[in-house]
Amino acid sequence: MTQSIFTTGYQLNHTKISLKRLPKRLTQYIPPVKNLMAIILVGVVLGVLGPLGSHEIPRSISIVYWVTTCFVGFAIYQPIIAISHQKLSPLITRVWIRTLIACIPAGIFMSGAVLILVRLFFGSHVLSGISFQVVLFNTGFVGATIALLHEVFEEKGRQINQSARHLETLTEQKNLETSSGYEEFMANIPVEKRGTLLCLEMADHYLTVHTDKGRHMMLMRLKDATALLRQYPGLQTHRSWWVAHDAVVKVVKSGRKFHLELSNELSVPVSRSFIDNVKAAGLGQ
């Protein structure tokens, strides 16, 4: 059985291998850090696995060869794939089809680059008897596989980023609504009493606002106050009481009655009609 091109090349040229023989233009292209790490990782994995007979040469030489090949492949495939997406996206909606189409010319160019790299690493002797069609098939298969996997991960990354931006937008909108109503409500309270909102207590036509800095009585209906605080984390526990979630220290049950103990030592009743709301908020567990 004939030896692989990698084994033969290493036996003929193992004393001549040097990274200095690589073309200087290869070191002039510096991809982004994310792509740089991916290229190195793929090259190392291929170097360790040793496909196409490269497992028969020393592991270190195999890794150096494959990492270098991956850098060259990125420099060839990336711009061609980018052009394919730019020109063909109006006609072809599927990303993977555009990628495969781009892999055809990229594979041809890469096959030529592989022949050059093999000569640089192992010498021209190893290429005797090796047809360009064989190199093209092997190079095209590996290149297309890596390109498709890259597009899959890129698409997943775009979907994750899009979901994150959407969630961030919703959060900002909710925070804006929350702060808008909260600020409008707190503007009715003297500055020295404006602190963390704890609860609201209704008596006759007056509303007592309890904060961690004290309390303030003002003329307002509880219904109007809770409308302003509808986005603020809290709930009504009684027809005359509203409490903020963070103010609740514990829930006390006495027979069939509930009341909430707050951080300011107030005891807030929970009427039967609001018990389910308290439990749904996780306060009655």
Mean pLDDT computed over 151-177 = 74
What pLDDT does residue 142 have?
79
What pLDDT does residue 267 have?
92
The ranges of the chain annotated as CATH 2.40.50.1020 are 191-280
Band of the pLDDT at 181, cuts 50, 70, 90?
confident
Band of the pLDDT at 43, cuts 50, 70, 90?
confident
Band of the pLDDT at 128, cuts 50, 70, 90?
low
Asked if 1 and 118 touch (Cβ cutoff 8 Å), the reply is no
Contacts by residues 23-31 (CB-CB < 8 Å, ≥ 24 positions apart): 26/68, 26/71, 26/72, 26/75, 29/71, 29/75, 31/74, 31/78
Q: Does the structure show a pLDDT above 90 at 209?
A: yes
Per-chain mean pLDDT for the chain: 80
pLDDT tens-digit series, residues 97-117: 898 899 899 989 998 888 888
Q: What does pTM read for this prediction? A: 0.45
How many separate helices (H) and strands (E) can be counted in the chain? Answer: 7, 8
Q: Does the structure show a pLDDT above 80 at 13?
A: no
pLDDT tens-digit series, residues 224-255: 999 999 888 999 999 999 999 999 998 888 87
C-alpha 56/C-alpha 59 separation (Å) is 8
What pLDDT does residue 25 have?
44
* Superfamily name and number for 191-280: LytTr DNA-binding domain (2.40.50.1020)
What pLDDT does residue 31 have?
52
What pLDDT does residue 241 have?
94
Top pLDDT among 135 and 187 is at 187
DSSP track, 221-236: -HHHHHHHTTTSSEEE
Task: Point out the least confidently predicted range of 29-38, 68-77, 215-224.
Answer: 29-38
Nearest to 42 by CA among 132, 148, 113: 148
